Every structure is written in C-alpha cells, then in structure tokens.
Amino acid sequence: MSEQVLSSQSKKARPRGLPQINPVYFILAALIVAIILNNPAFVEPTGYMNFLKRAAPLAILAAGQLYVIVSGGFDLSVGSLITLVVVGSSMLSNNDPSSTWWVISVMLGIGLAVGLINGLVVCYLKVPSLIATLGMMITLNGFAFMWSGGAPRGYLPDTFRFFGRVNIMDVPVIRMLPVAVIVLIVVGFLLYWLMHRTNLGRLLHAVGDNPRAALLAGVPVNRVRITAFVVSSLSAVITGILLGGFAGVSTDVGTGYELQAITAAVLGGAQLLGGRGSVPAAIAGALTLTAIFTLLNFLGLPQPVRQVVQGLILIAAVALAMYRRKRTGQ
C-alpha cells in the first residue's frame, strides 16, 4: 500500500478546495426568493420578522431533537410534551400574571423529568428509543387529558404569553423585534455552543457513530445519551412556552411537532442512525420547512396539503441523503 509522506505543516491546515456547504442553506435561500417574488412585502420587517417569529418554536425544537438524532435515537415524545406544557401552564397559572415564573420553573422541571425517564428507559431497560418515546407520547397525552379533564380551562396570563406573542417595537433599523426571535437567538446559540464547541457534542457524535468504540474509549455512554434526551425535552418545554404564547391553549397544540422537528433535522443533513448532524443546519431546516408552508399558504393551498407535503418532504429528504451517501461511498 503506497502512503504519501507529507510535511507536518499541511496536516494541520484545512484541506484545500471548496468547503462543503450544507445544501440546506441553498434551498432556504431559494425558498426565500420564491416567497419574496410571491409577496414583496416579505422584505419589510413585518414580513420577515413575523416569519422568524412563527419559525422560532420549530427551530428550537429541531435543534433539541438533533441531540437525540446525533446520539443515534429518536424522540417522538416532544409533541405531546408541548401539549402538556401548554395545558398544564394554563391550568396552573389560572390567569394570575405573577404566576408565570414559578409555572415556567415547574414546566422545566417536568421537561427534565421526562427527558430523564426517556433516557433511563432507553439506556437501562434497553427499550429502543422509538418505542420508549412513542410510549411516553401516549402517556403524556393521557396526562394532558387527565389534567384538563378533556377540556382545558383557564387562560395563559400576559406575562406568560410575553415570550411567544410580544414584539418589541421602535427598534432601530429592523423596527420590530419579536421576543420569540430573541429567545431563538439565545437558545439557538446555547444549543450550538453545547454541540459544536464543547466536549459533549464530540462525545454525542462518537456515541451515535459507534457506541461500542465510545464505551471502550471511556465515554460515559449512558450519561451522554440521557443528556441528549434531557436537552430535547427541555427545548420542547421552551417551544411549548412560545407556542402557548403565540397560539393559545388547546389539546392538540403540539400534535405532529415531533415529526416536523425530525424532518427539519433531516433536511439539515442529520444522519438518522446517528453520528452526524449540525445545530445551525437543523435550524435552517426548520426555517426551510416553515418557508415551504408559508409558500403553500400564499399559493392558497389548504391545511391538509401541508401534511401531505410534509410527509413527502420527510421521505424525499432521507432518500436524497441515502443516495448521496451511496455515491460518496460511505
């Protein structure tokens, strides 16, 4: 076998040639252009800021889901957790504005518990994450029904709805800044940093790629996995807070969001059996999905079409990724 002898200098440098840009950014750009062509008002702050505001919940959820996907699993319980958060918050707060902070704390606590249980069941009971989180989904939906007796009472106070609904006005240059977008930037950056700038992210990738090798290299595989589920659940809680503020209370607030989050992550290039994924790309995937739905709305296509389109996108995204993998000989 011939081996090239290279100087040590070049080994530390980046490989030459065009850097690989994730195709999702191109798709997103193309869609934005299409939206602008359809609706020129999009370039105004009221246009794009509202777009970001609407996309923020999914973006945060997708970034959290990415952690579980990279570690090699799926978290199908996030949709029902969103529902539980919204329903539970409205029940607990009972329209009392001062209750918001402790209600949010309780919800974060619930999210933490759900993530822990998901992780423990997968790691120690050896139940595949598909089944474990699907079972959790059913259970959480049941809890949501139980708590609200089938019909959610109460309203969410304005202090709670602040995050999802309020826009900060009179901002220089961009004129309006939705609080949701601020939350997206903060949480998005946090999730990005945790995945791409810390040890946890590298360990997550290793666990998803080759859990046996990770174990023998000394990685605390179970702890890493459980952390991924906790991150996913906590981001679901934040998504729930945003959605509750934006959309109000209902028993199917979160339905289907888990699949949207997985679709967004896959659009961003995440590999389904683990080992590869990027937070910014997942967020871009979420924006892409939202852009597609926005475009469908502009074209006057009804809501059910959205579901069909989403199903097709999900399959197409994965099929394309598999095709590319085969071509590059992985």
Partner 1 sequence: MSGAPVIEMRGIAKRFPGVVALDDVGFACRAGEVHALVGENGAGKSTLIKILSGVYQPDEGEVLVDGQPVHFRHPVDALAAGISVIYQEFSLLPERTVAQNIFLGRELTRGWMLDNAAMNAQTRRVLDMFAAGRRIAPDTLVSELDVASQQMVEIAKAIALDAKVLVMDEPTAALNEAECRELFETVDELRGHGTAVIYITHRMREVTRLADRVTVLKDGQVAARFETLPEPAEIVRAMVGRDIADFYAPFATPEEIAAAVLSVRGGANRLLRNIDFDLKAGEILGFAGIQGAGRVALAMALFGARPFDAGTMTLAGRDVRFTHPRDAIRAGIGLLPGDRKGEALVLMQSVRDNAMLSPRAFAGAAASHKRNGFINLDGMDTLLDRMEVKAASYDQEIRFLSGGNQQKAIVARWLALKPKVLIFIEPTRGIDVNAKAGIYHLMRDLAREGAGIIMISSDLPEVIGAADRILVMREGTIVAEHQKGAEETAIMLDATGEQEVAA
Partner 2 sequence: MSEATAGQAPAARVRFRFDRWAPALLLLAAVSIYVGACVATGQTQYLSWNNLLAVLGRSIALGITAIGQTFVILVASIDLSVASLISAVAVLASVIMNGSPAMIVPAIAASLVLGATVGLINGLVITRLDVNPLIATLGMSLVIQGCLSAFVSNFAGAVPSEFQFFAYGNVAGVPFAILFFFALALVAFLVLRFTRFGSNVYAVGGNQDAARFAGIATRRVIVIAHVICSLCATVAGLYLASRLRSGAPWIGANGVYDLESIAVVVIGGTILAGGRGGIWGTVAGVMIFSLIDSIFNVLGVDAFVKQVLRGVIIVAAVAFYAARSKRIVA
Binding residues for partner 1 (CB under 8 A): 1-6, 8, 10-15, 194, 197-203, 205-206, 209-210, 212-220, 224, 227, 271, 275-276, 330
| d(C-alpha 218, C-alpha 209), whole Å | 15
| d(C-alpha 140, C-alpha 240), whole Å | 14
Within residues 208-237, the interface with partner 2 by CB under 8 A covers 211-212, 215, 221
Contact 242, 164 (CB under 8 A): yes
Q: Candidates 3-11, 42-50, 275-283, 301-309 — which segment interacts with partner 2 by CB under 8 A?
A: 301-309
- Per rule CB under 8 A, count of chain residues that contact partner 2: 57
Six token digits for residue 269 = 């290039």
- Count CB-CB contacts under 10 A for residue 48: 17
262 touches partner 2 (CB under 8 A)? yes
- The one among 12, 16, 326, 327 contacting partner 2 by CB under 8 A: 326
CB of 296 to partner 2, least distance (A): 11
Over the Cα atoms of the chain, what is R_g?
Answer: 21
Q: Which is nearer to partner 2, 76 or 243 (CB)?
A: 76
3 binds, among partner 1, partner 2, none (CB under 5 to 8 A by kind): partner 1
Q: Candidates 32-40, 108-116, 145-153, 186-194 — which segment interacts with partner 2 by CB under 8 A?
A: 145-153
| d(C-alpha 97, C-alpha 74), whole Å | 36
Contact 301, 249 (CB under 8 A): no
92 binds, among partner 1, partner 2, none (CB under 5 to 8 A by kind): none
CB of 5 to partner 1, least distance (A): 7
136 touches partner 2 (CB under 8 A)? yes
45 touches partner 2 (CB under 8 A)? no
C-alpha distances in Å from residue 28, one per residue of 32, 34, 238 = 6, 10, 24
103 contact partners, CB below 8 Å, separation of at least 6 = 89, 92, 93, 160
- The one among 34, 166, 190, 305 contacting partner 2 by CB under 8 A: 305
| d(C-alpha 80, C-alpha 215), whole Å | 32
13 binds, among partner 1, partner 2, none (CB under 5 to 8 A by kind): partner 1
Within residues 108-127, the interface with partner 2 by CB under 8 A covers 121-127
| d(C-alpha 3, C-alpha 173), whole Å | 57
Which residue's entry shows tokens 């777009």?
51
Q: Which is nearer to partner 2, 89 or 263 (CB)?
A: 263
187 contact partners, CB below 8 Å, separation of at least 6 = 60, 63, 235, 238
CB of 213 to partner 1, least distance (A): 5
Residue 168's DSSP bridge partners are 177
Q: Candidates 95-103, 144-152, 172-180, 277-285 — which segment interacts with partner 2 by CB under 8 A?
A: 144-152
Residue 176's DSSP bridge partners are 169
304 binds, among partner 2, partner 1, none (CB under 5 to 8 A by kind): partner 2
Q: Which is nearer to partner 2, 52 or 123 (CB)?
A: 123
Q: Which is nearer to partner 1, 14 or 126 (CB)?
A: 14
| d(C-alpha 297, C-alpha 305), whole Å | 10
* Angle, CA 235 vertex, CA 229 and CA 237 arms, to 5°: 105
Q: Give the binding site for partner 2 (CB under 8 A).
A: 72-74, 121-132, 134-143, 145-146, 150, 211-212, 215, 221, 256, 259, 262, 266, 272-274, 302-312, 314-315, 318-319, 322-323, 326
